Amino acid sequence: MPIGLPEIIILIPVLIALGVLFYRGTLFRGTLRNRARRFGYVSTRAYLAAAPRSDAEKQDAVDLALRGLVWCLLGLLFPPFVLVGLIPLFYGGRKLVYASMGLGLVDDADHYGA
């Protein structure tokens, strides 16, 4: 059975959305890798797991959380975008909570006998 005009009209936006998701996914990974190097972390995983140590890292965590929130809100219109937004929302939010609890302000290696 050949594909008709209604199917093409439905498939084109879906394919465009999938292309955007793929592009943003690869761009997002590269952006995180660059941020990790800029802040002096060994790997992206170490950067995402660490509590923010400076004001620049706190600002970066806020940016990450807000970017994830925007993707999740965009997911209200286009449901697949929720999945894209959950990752930066989780990691950015976790870094913000760590910063608000005061974690990461003092390195543990500096305290002897604490």
User: Do residues 60 and 48 make contact, with C-beta atoms less than 8 angstroms apart?
Assistant: no
pLDDT at position 107 over 60: no
Query: How many structural domains is the chain composed of?
Result: 1
- CB-side exposure of 59: number of CA atoms within 13 Å? 4
Mean pLDDT of 38-67: 86
Residue 94 lies in a domain: yes
Residue 85 lies in a domain: yes
pTM above 0.85, yes or no: no
Please provide the size of the chain in residues.
Answer: 114
| Short-list 65, 34, 39, 43, CA closest to 53 | 39
Residue 31 lies in a domain: yes
Residue 114 lies in a domain: no
**pLDDT value at position 114?**
47
Contacts for 50 with CB less than 8 Å, ≥ 6 apart = 41, 95, 104
Q: Give me the sign of the Cα torsion angle 88, 93, 57, 41.
A: negative
Residue 56 lies in a domain: yes
Residue 113 lies in a domain: no
Residue 50 lies in a domain: yes
The residue segments making up the domain with residue 54 are 5-106
Which has the minimum average pLDDT: 10-19, 77-86, 101-110?
101-110
Residue 39 lies in a domain: yes
* Tens digit of each residue's pLDDT (9 = 90 or more) over 1-44: 677 788 888 888 878 877 776 776 655 666 788 888 888 999 88
